[in-house]
């Protein structure tokens, strides 16, 4: 996960995961902004520059960024704790090649390390609102591999709510 500046690009068919959480890495941010703009993946009104500050980790194939995970930290009233609300997107040409699965554990680790270093943030874990149609049978798994996101309920509009608590976090 460390990113020495002179590292060679990964082989074109290999996924390389790079950490981005709270690093303000200009190269990764610029690549992510180009990714969102090229693919039109951001909802209208969302600033790519702002979303770039929410990057947790990214996946490259060769020198092309092909997938991102991002998070905003939000109070989640139903579980009465602050969570990193996770979002993921993969370049359509690179979907179903396990890019999101590859991002899941490094993303969780990066957030957990940061939470341990910033106890004042009281970050309890990760949370995802999942469009079940995007994930096929994967959405039927009670606990997702790599991310440990467990199904905790459904929103009124039918999305799954999935949560993974950090082991170090203690309820108030
Ligand atoms: C949803 C999304 C992030 C998945 O990214 P991805 O990199 O293709 O996901 P992965 O390859 O890591 O998939 C992991 C597993 O999820 C399931 N899965 C993912 N996409 C699926 C699909 N379109 N149909 C059925 N199952 C799917 C599969 O079980 C897959 O494992 P497998 O390919 O070995 O069977 C991607 O399709 C995307 O960017 N969609 C648009 C943005 C979006 O909807 N974000 C998430 C909203 S909840």
Q: What band does 8 get if pLDDT is binned at 50, 70 and 90?
A: low
> Which atom of ligand 1 has the smallest separation from the CA of 131?
48
pLDDT computed for residue 6 by the predictor: 53
The more confident residue out of 92 and 1 is 92
> Which atom of ligand 1 has the smallest separation from the CA of 159?
48
> How far is 77 from 170, CA to CA, in rounded Å?
16
Q: Which of 135, 137, 155, 160 has the most ligand 1 atoms within 8 A of CB, as the residue to mutate? A: 135
Q: Which of 134, 136, 139 has the most ligand 1 atoms within 8 A of CB, as the residue to mutate? A: 134
**What mean pLDDT do residues 9-24 have?**
86
pLDDT computed for residue 172 by the predictor: 83
Taking alpha carbons only, the member of 8, 3, 62 closest to residue 27 is 3
| Average pLDDT of the residues of the chain | 94
SS3 71: strand
> Which atom of ligand 1 has the smallest separation from the CA of 91?
39
Q: What band does 85 get if pLDDT is binned at 50, 70 and 90?
A: very high
Cα(170) to ligand 1 centroid in Å equals: 32
- Domain 15-165 adopts which CATH fold? Aminopeptidase (3.40.630)
The per-residue pLDDT for range 107-118, each reduced to its tens digit, is: 999 999 999 999
Give the binding-site residues of ligand 1, using a 6 Å CB cut-off: 67, 88-90, 95-101, 130-131, 134-136, 138
Percent of the chain with pLDDT over 70: 93
Taking alpha carbons only, the member of 8, 2, 3 closest to residue 63 is 8
Q: Which of 32, 66, 85, 95 has the most ligand 1 atoms within 8 A of CB, as the residue to mutate? A: 95
The per-residue pLDDT for range 55-65, each reduced to its tens digit, is: 999 999 999 99
Report domain extents, the chain. Answer: 15-165
Taking alpha carbons only, the member of 81, 61, 63, 83 closest to residue 73 is 83
**Whether 27 contacts 55, CB under 8 Å:** no
């Amino acid at each position: 996960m460390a990113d020495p500046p002179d590292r060679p690009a990964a082989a074109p068919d290999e996924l390389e995961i790079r950490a981005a959480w709270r690093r303000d890495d200009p190269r990764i941010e610029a690549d992510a902004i180009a990714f969102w703009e090229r693919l039109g993946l951001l909802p209208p009104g969302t600033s790519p520059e702002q979303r770039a500050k929410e990057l947790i980790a990214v996946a490259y194939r060769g020198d092309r960024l092909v997938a991102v995970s991002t998070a905003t930290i939000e109070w989640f009233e139903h579980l009465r704790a602050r969570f990193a609300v996770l979002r993921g997107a993969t370049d359509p040409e690179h979907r179903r090649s396990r890019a999101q699965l590859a991002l899941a554990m490094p993303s969780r680790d990066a957030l957990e390390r940061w939470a341990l270093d910033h106890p004042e943030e009281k970050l309890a874990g990760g949370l995802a609102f999942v469009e079940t149609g995007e994930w096929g049978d994967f959405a039927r798994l009670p606990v997702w591999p790599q991310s440990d996101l467990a199904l905790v309920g459904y929103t009124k509009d039918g999305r799954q709510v999935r949560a993974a608590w950090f082991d170090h976090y203690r309820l108030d």
